[in-house]
Homo-oligomer: A and B are copies of this chain.
Amino acid sequence: MSQVRVHNLSISLDGFGTGEDLSFEAPFGHAGQRLHGWMFATGFGRAMFGGSGGGEGLDNAFARRHQDDDIGAEIMGRGKFWPLSGPWPDLGTEQEWRGWWGPNPPFHTPVFVLTHHPRPSIEMEGGTVFHFIDASPADALALAREAAGGRDVRIGGGPTTVGEFLAADLIDVMHVVQVPVLLGRGVRLWDGLEGLEDRYDIEAVASPSGVVHLTFTRR
C-alpha cells in the first residue's frame, strides 16, 4: 500500500510553519530563510537548486527522504505555489506564474495545487505537471493516488494544508524539522490537533546543526 508522507516541514520553536506578510519577494514572509537554512546547507538542498557540495550528515539523511523514488505525486496548498489569495490575475501566457522553482521544478511528478480557483494545468520540464483543483483533502488524495500509479503521495505543505490532512487522518508518515527560532507570528502547524500523539509514534532526534527532527509514524 502506498503511503502519504510529509518531509522537511520546517517549523519554528513556537510552531509556525511560515511567517506573516508573504509576497513574491518573501515566500515565507518575515521568516525569511530562517526556517530552511538547515536544508540549504545539506547536499540535498544544494542539489535541489543545481548546486553541489553541502552536508552529508544527519540533516541530509532526513532531507533526502523528501524526494526518493517512491514518490509519485505531490499535493500542495495554494500558498506554496503563489503567495497571494483570491482569483488568479490574468498575466497573459508570457508572464504566467509557474511557481518558484524555475523551468524544471524539483518535483518530477504530477503536483496537485489546492485552490478555490481552478485553472488549466501547466506542464513543466522534467515531468512536473501542476494541476489546480478545488477539492477536499480526501478527494485530492484520491486524485493524487491515481496519478501516482501505486507510488507514495507527498503532502508538500504549507502548514495549513498539512494540518488539514492531519485533521482528516490522511497522513501515514510525517517528518517535521523544528528550528531554534521564535517567529512570533505566521501560520501555526499544530492548531486544532489536540491528542495527535494518540495516533502516531513520535521520535525526536537532535542534530548537531541545532534543529530537531521529529518523525510521526502512524500506529
A residues sitting closer than 8 Å to B (CB atoms) are 13-15, 178, 180-185, 188, 190-197, 202-206, 210-212, 214
Chain B residues with CB under 8 A of A194 = 182-185
Q: 11 interchain pairs (CB within 8 A)? A: A13-B15, A13-B190, A15-B15, A15-B190, A178-B204, A180-B204, A181-B195, A184-B194, A203-B210, A204-B212, A206-B212
Chain B residues with CB under 8 A of A15 = 13-15, 190
Alpha-carbon distance A95/B14, docked complex (angstroms):
41
- Knowing A13-B190, A190-B14, A212-B212, the reply to whether A182 touches B195 (Cβ < 8 A) is yes
Alpha-carbon distance A13/B204, docked complex (angstroms):
11
Give the interface SS of chain A, mostly helix, strand, loop or mixed: loop
Chain B residues with CB under 8 A of A204 = 178, 180, 206, 210-212
Instruction: Known pairs A178-B204, A180-B214, A184-B190; list 6 more (Cβ under 8 Å).
Output: A13-B214, A184-B195, A204-B210, A204-B211, A205-B206, A212-B212
Nearest chain B CB to A14 CB, angstrom units: 4
Alpha-carbon distance A214/B206, docked complex (angstroms):
10
Nearest chain B CB to A209 CB, angstrom units: 10
Chain B residues with CB under 8 A of A14 = 15, 188, 190-191, 193
Alpha-carbon distance A34/B13, docked complex (angstroms):
20
| Contact status A192-B197, CB under 8 Å | no
Alpha-carbon distance A105/B210, docked complex (angstroms):
37
Chain B residues with CB under 8 A of A203 = 210
Q: Which of B182, B195, B196 contacts A197 (CB 8 A)?
A: B182
